[in-house]
Structure 1
Amino acid sequence: MVWILLLLLTFGMPAVYCGSHTLYYQITMTSAPTPGVPQFSIIVYVNDIQYGRYNSDIGRAEALIPISSIPFSSLWMVSEHMEHQTKVAQEYEIAHRQRLHFLMGVFNTTNSNGDIHVYQTNNACELHDDGTISGYQEIAFDGKELLVYDKERVTFVPVTQEAVMVAQLWNKRYDSTYTKIFMEIDCIEHMKMYLPYISTDLGKKVPPNVKISSSESESGIKLHCWVYGFYPRDVDVKWTKNETDELPSEESPEILPNPDGTYQIRVSVVVTPEEGATYFCHVSHISLEDTLVAPFEPNKRSHLCITVPASGMLLLLLLLIGLGVFRFSKSMTKDPNGSQSVSTEEKD
């Protein structure tokens, strides 16, 4: 179950190009039913906004946009479109089940011993500001990308050497002419239909918050730049040394969603402290007029260390003063009549 969910997440989300709109279909088919995971599913995104879905559990296409965003005069058109998309999705379910079985045959795999195999394809079309159109399709089996669609040559090409034979068999078995037609015509028409209903979300811009921190590392100090609460999803985060030299990150940072619909990312680098060197985190986002530059300030930690002992010394001083007052008051006694008397030491 967990393995399947990881595959669904790691095979990729669409990159949203600045100045363009992307309609993206994420299609998944598993070789056997799994509790909590539909055997077949289609998730539709307009840019990074989930617009619709279909899966074998619900058996129909659904638009995931508020009804209030659809004009009353357009409700019938949207309803009719979703009915048509349901029929298309049901045909896709049959076709992709055949493709999954084909790949299982090529790799000589079965469902024995409880093994479950996963077929995935990502399809997208892109409409740019200058009116040009582009798109792509990727095919993966058990989490490994095998084929990508070459729109100019109207054929699927292998991603790895292992997939060369798969590409040859695939192109003989499946006619990819419709893939090109879908990218350049059907997909673009659907996108133009969907965009008005999510225009509010597409226009929303929320600037990021940035928090800089550090931790000890075996090879030096690890600097962390946590960027959070921003929308839309696209963001560029990088570390520099002395504001000019870009520092590579040893990790592959992921942009993660927040429950409120915004996003977050943490970019970390390991540095060896050098005298006079300065480190900065640069954040570029569409909500910002200029790149946000946040410095790493190592002295902040030392200020904290100095503050703690200083407060401790102040507390000790107050205790000493209090002890002195207490001892002085003990040296003064009162007689039964309530008048003060001096101690025998003071009498002497």
Structure 2
Amino acid sequence: MACYISLVFLLCFPAVYSGSHTLHYYVSMLSSPADGVPQYSIVVYADGLLLGRYNSDIRLAQFFIPSLNVFTEHLELQTKFAQRWQVYQERKMMFLMGFLNKTSDKGAIRVYQRKFACELEEDGTIGGYQEFALDGKEVITFDREREVFVSATQEAVIMLPQWNQYHGNAKGNKMYMENECIEHMKLYLPLITADLQKKDKPNVKVSSSESDSGVKLHCFVFGFYPRDVDVMWIKNVKHEIHSDEASQILPNPDGTYQIRVSVEVTPEEGATYSCRVDHSSLEKTMVVPFERESKQKITFILIGVALAVLLALSLGFYIQRKMKGFKGSRQSVSTEEQD
């Protein structure tokens, strides 16, 4: 039945596949349970749009796009697949932890991550990639053309033979990437066209912090969709400042995205700094200036408030003393009159 539905949609909506498309699977697993966080989870995106999820708490595959809920049998199959897949991910995580000496610290929670993607180009060319990471550090990547996994770090070189022999299954990964993954993408695309066309404008906040060499400027851009965005710091309106930190676009729970771009600068007299944001939802480039005087303004305001309070207290004390003096003189007059 699921295959029949897939065939119907493939025949009825061929025009949907114009352009390039990507289907992403983000897998994460914790070495031990943590409060409020599923120990195992899979999140799926199509062209940056949050489609669905599975995790060890709900133990069901779910779509976030209501129009996709017609694929009930497909969801059931994805649920069974995700449950079986968890066993394989646990084995891979334990292998990486053991080889990288991450098992000695019993109190630490290790994070295993796997990113899997298939790509369909406008001319019909199929591509994709796959990455494995431990504690946020990329360890192994997949070479699709050679059907082999390769090391992303020097320490991973030694373990590659064992990984490719016992844990990689390069041939099976390539087959899934070029067949089932592409079929799933074609199944979803006809029903999410309107969702893919939505646009959410970014919010921008700029701030600063002290650094060893001067000042670090931060530009936090959040709440935007689609995923692609260009964020950079500009000095004196036209000079781009290159960041030494790698800036990653991260997903938000609501399906939008966020990114933070930071640069180190040595403040100069008269120099101006601003964060420039380019996004498809914007009619023109957004430029948010960083005002170094903002902290000084706050300081002046606080000093002004303190002086006002001090003045009020002094005035009150002065009036109180005057009143006491006035009462004393009145009492003297009354005594003289009584005498």
Q: Where in structure 1 are there 5+ consecutive unaligned residues?
A: 1-18, 317-348
- Residue pair 1:24, 1:45 contacting (<8 A) in 2 also: yes
Q: Provide the residue aligned with 2:322 in structure 1.
A: none
Question: What is the CA deviation profile of residues 178-220 of structure 1, one whole-angstrom value per residue up to 9, with x for unaligned ones?
Answer: 1111111211111121223333331111233445566676644
Question: Do residues 181 (structure 1) and 165 (structure 2) align?
Answer: no
Measured in 1, the distance between the counterparts of 2:293 and 2:95 equals 61
Q: Is structure 2 residue 48 aligned with structure 1 residue 94?
A: no
**1:125 alignment partner in structure 2:** 118
> Secondary structure of 1:165's partner?
coil
CA contact (8 A) 2:29 2:41 kept: yes
The Cα shift of 1:259 comes to 6.9
Kindly indicate whether the alpha-carbon contact (under 8 Å) linking 1:23 and 1:126 is maintained by their aligned counterparts in 2: yes
Query: Which of 163, 179, 186 is equivalent to 1:170?
Result: 163
282-291 or 248-257, larger mean C-alpha shift: 248-257
Q: 1:124 to 1:278 in 2, by over 3 A?
A: same
Superposed displacement of residue 231, structure 1: 2.2
Contact 2:219 2:260 in 1 (8 A): yes
Q: Aligned-residue CA RMSD in angstroms?
A: 4.0
Cα distance in 2 between the residues matched to 1:110 and 1:259: 31
Q: Give per-residue Cα distances to partners, 1:266-312, cap 9 Å, x unaligned.
A: 434343344554434321111234433444566788889999999x9
Corresponding letter in the other structure for 2:28:
T
Asked if the contact 1:258–1:264 (Cα under 8 Å) also holds between the matched residues in 2, the reply is yes
Q: CA deviation at 1:223?
A: 4.2
TM-score, normalised to structure 1, is: 0.67
The answer to whether the Cα contact below 8 Å between 1:111 and 1:117 also exists between their aligned partners in 2 is no
Work out which of the residue numbers 233, 240, 244 in structure 2 matches 1:239.
Answer: 233
CA distance in 2, matches of 1:194, 1:62: 13
Which amino acid in the other structure matches residue 42 of structure 2? I
Where does residue 325 of structure 2 map in the other structure? Answer: none
Q: Given the superposition, is the C-alpha separation of residues 250 and 152 from structure 1 closer, same or farther in structure 2, using an over 3 Å criterion?
A: closer
Q: Which aligned pairs between 1:253-264 and structure 2 lie closer than 5 A?
A: 253=247, 255=249, 262-264=256-258
Query: Given the alignment, which residue of 194, 198, 203 partners 1:204?
Result: 198
Instruction: For 2:230 and 2:110, locate their aligned partners in 1 and report how far apart those are by CA, in whole Å.
Output: 35
User: Which one is further off, 258-267 or 193-202?
Assistant: 258-267
Q: Which whole-Å CA distance do the structure 1 matches of 2:221 and 2:32 have between them?
A: 40
Change (3 A) 1:22 1:302: same
Deviations 1:235-280 (A, max 9, x none): 1111122344321235554546667654444434343344554434
Shift, 1:32, TM fit:
4.7
Q: Partner of 2:265 in structure 1?
A: 271
Q: Are 2:187 and 1:159 aligned? A: no
Q: What amino acid is aligned across from residue 233 of structure 2 in structure 1? A: W
Aligned to 2:25: 25
Letter in 2 for 1:241: K
Change (3 A) 1:226 1:145: closer
Which residue of structure 1 aligns with residue 242 of structure 2?
Answer: 248
CA contact (8 A) 2:49 2:255 kept: no
Distance 1:294 1:110, change over 3 A: closer
CA distance in 1, matches of 2:86, 2:298: 60
Separation of aligned partners in 2, 1:226 and 1:103: 33
Displacement of 1:131? 3.5
The residue number in structure 1 matching 2:58 is 58
The verdict on how the C-alpha distance between 1:83 and 1:159 changes in structure 2, with shifts beyond 3 A counting, is same
Tell me if structure 2 keeps the 8 A contact 1:248–1:269.
Answer: yes
Identity of aligned residues (%): 56
Inter-partner Cα distance in structure 1 for 2:149 and 2:205: 44
The 3 A distance-change label for structure 1 pair 289 and 171 is: same
Match of 1:193 among 184, 187, 197: 187
Q: Distance in 1 between matches of 2:175 and 2:109?
A: 33
1:238 to 1:182, Cα distance in 2 relative to 1, 3 A: same
Alpha-carbon contact 1:215-1:221 (below 8 Å) kept: yes
CA contact (8 A) 1:31 1:111 kept: no
Deviation at 1:59, TM superposition (A): 3.2
Task: Name whichever of 274-283 and 188-197 sits farther off.
Answer: 274-283
Aligned counterparts of 1:167 and 1:256: Cα–Cα separation in 2: 29
- Whole-angstrom distance in 2 between the partners of 1:55 and 1:303: 49
* Paired AA for residue 48 in structure 2: D
Q: Does 1:292 align with 2:286?
A: yes
1:288-327 equivalence runs, <5 A: 288-296=282-290
In structure 1, the residue matched to 2:11 is none
Query: SS of 1:283's equivalent?
Result: strand
- Specify the alignment match of 1:9 in structure 2: none
